[in-house]
Structure formats: C-alpha cells, structure tokens
Amino acid sequence: MGSMRVLVTPRPFDSKGQEHLQRLRDAGYEVEWNDTGKRYTREDLEDRIGNADALLTGNDPLDQDMLARAKKLMVISKYGVGLDNIDLTCAKEMGISVYKALGANSDAVAEFAVLLMMAAQRQLYQLSQGAKSREALRLVGHEAAGKAIGLVGLGAIGRNVARIARALGMSVLAYDPAVSQANAPEGVMCVTFDNLLASSDVISLHAPLTASTSGLIGADEFAAMKPTAILVNTARAGLVDADALYSALCSGRIAFAAEDIELKERPDATVALDNYLITPHAASFTVEADQKTMAVSVDNIIKGLEQHK
C-alpha cells in the first residue's frame, strides 16, 4: 500500500501556503494542489477526487454525485467554516470525517461586518464617489454609539462583532437557539428573534446556511424591522430572500443592506440600488486569516487521517 494522497483545491496554497503543504509531506502524505491559478471546474475535480484519501476544499461542489467518485476519501477539511457546499448526510453515510477551520477567520469577518455597518451608517461609498467626482457631498450619516445591534448567531464571529460593537458604545442583542443568557458574552442580551427584528438599528447575520435557516429573512421579517434599520450579511446569501430584499430596499421598508456574498446570488437590479452595498465574499481575505485558516485546515487533515489509520 502506498502513501495516502491529499488533494488541496484552494488557490492560496500555491502562492502563500507552501510551508503548510510541506507539513503534509513531512507527515508522510503525497500532496496534489491546485497550481492552475484558477478555481477547479467541476470536471477538474471529478478527474482528481477519485485518487484522494483526504480533500482540503474551499467551495467545491461536494454533492452526492461528486462524493460517489471519491471511493478512497476518508477526510474532508474545509478551508473556512461554511459547510453548505458539502452533502454532509452523504459524507456521513460514506464514513468520511468532515472538519472546518473553526475560529481561524473570525477576527477578519467580524471586523468586516463592522466595516460594512459603519460604511452604511456614514454613507461612505457615496461620500467617496462624490469626492472622486470633485463634488463636496457632505452627506449626513448616523453614529454607532447609542444604537442597538442585533446579532443573529453567537458563534466565534458573532461574539467578536459583539465585542467590537460594545467598544463603539452600542447595545448588543442576540438571537441564537444554542445560546442562553447564562452562557452569553458579557454585555449581550439574548432575546427572541421577533424582539431582535423589532428592536435593532442594525441586524447582522452570523448563522450557517441550513435547511432551517434558508430564507430566514423574508418579507415578514423585513416588515418587522425599523424603517431605519440596516441589514448586514457576511454569512451566506441564502439566509435572505432575494425578492423580499429587493422589495424592502425599493420601498424604503428598511434603510440599507450591505452584504459580503457571492456576486451571482443577487440580481443586477438589487446590486444597482443606491441603498445596497455588495462585496464579493471577501470578508475573510486578510493575510492573517489566510495563514490561520491554512494552518487549521492542514491540522484537521493530519488529525483526521491519523484517526482513520
């Protein structure tokens, strides 16, 4: 029996993660990584996954058909924390261990969520565009201090947002079915979802995308928000109903929405709105988060394969 093979698909490993790939080789594993400079296509992955004992993946489509090709696969390590691209039920049935890089990018994403919030409050994009056109548009914004932020999800990212928001002088509300007031961070008040929607000046989403959270924010939820509310989404596009979002922004049902998501998940009509800000799922893209995520992802590969020996 030859040495076990690890397939690494995220592009950053080629240019910035060779020391982490070397750790896999030092542990005795053969390593194949994506050195194409482009995302693997589905066909690229289909050609390679059958030889892999472990897969370090980004957002590759690991559905039932893809996993059926992975006859040798024992471990999947996610370069990140969202597992919605992986058929977890199928992986479990096949005996594949699935890991995510918990905590590795929580500082980066939390800081970006607050950045989006403040950009919306102060109309930063509009101010900058006006100034670049030599127009002195001194738009009147809002301060964070004294406002209430409602966090949907109190995992590592949500807790970091809470810490920063408190430092800005905000009151912090949170809804997370897995967190009670007894184990909530200091200064965070756990409330019902309905209470959070009605009471928050800013609503920031930090929940995973699952069958139960898909479309979590829809027409009824927008109707329950303050008309001055700002929605921030650095989690997944699927948490927010696209049609309801467009309608809420067009009608002034809420004041503003800022999302860090895959661009293809919002129509051009929404992207063009003046009270909508979108960035291309880049919240976790910092030098520090890259290195931490690579390190944890590789740790999970080594740990997982050791457990399967």
For 170-185, the pLDDT digits (tens) are 999 999 999 999 999 9
Dihedral angle computed from the Cα positions of residues 151, 153, 158 and 164, in that order, rounded to the nearest 10 degrees: 20
Tens digit of each residue's pLDDT (9 = 90 or more) over 113-149 = 999 999 999 999 888 888 888 988 898 999 999 999 9
**197-239, pLDDT tens digit by residue?**
999 999 999 999 999 999 999 999 999 999 999 999 999 999 9
- Catalytic residue of the set 30, 32, 46, 265: 265
**Mean pLDDT over the full length of the chain:** 95
Class of domain 5-104+287-308: alpha beta
Confidence of residue 309 (pLDDT cuts 50, 70, 90): confident
CA angle 162/168/172 to nearest 5° reads 35
Q: Strands, DSSP E only, in the chain? A: 5-8, 30-33, 54-57, 75-78, 97-100, 148-152, 171-175, 188-190, 202-205, 230-233, 256-260, 276-279
Residue whose entry in the numeric block shows the structure tokens 């929404």:
270
CA dihedral of 91, 92, 95, 101, whole degrees rounded to 10:
70
Q: Residue 273: is its pLDDT beyond 80?
A: yes
Residue-wise pLDDT for 148-164, tens only, equals 999 999 999 999 999 99
Residues 98-123, mean pLDDT to the nearest whole number: 96
* 236 is an active site residue: yes
Query: What is the arithmetic mean of pLDDT over 257-263?
Result: 96
> Cα–Cα distance between 293 and 78 in angstroms, integer?
9
Give the whole-number percent of the chain exceeding pLDDT 70: 99
Q: Which of 11, 20, 253, 281 is catalytic?
A: 281
The pLDDT of residue 288 is 95
Q: What is the pLDDT of residues 29-69, one digit of tens each?
A: 999 999 999 999 999 999 999 999 999 999 999 999 999 99
What pLDDT is stored for residue 81 in this prediction?
A: 84
* Assigned CATH for 106-279: 3.40.50.720
Confirm whether 20 is a catalytic residue: no
pLDDT at residue 96 above 60? yes
Domain ranges of the chain: 5-104+287-308, 106-279
- The yes-or-no answer to whether 5-104+287-308 and 106-279 have a common fold is yes
Q: What is the pLDDT of residue 2?
A: 59
Is 206 assigned a catalytic role? Answer: no
Number of H helices, E strands in the chain: 13, 12
Alpha-carbon span 23 to 295, nearest angstrom: 9
Which residue among the candidates 11, 236, 253, 266 is catalytic per the annotation?
Answer: 236
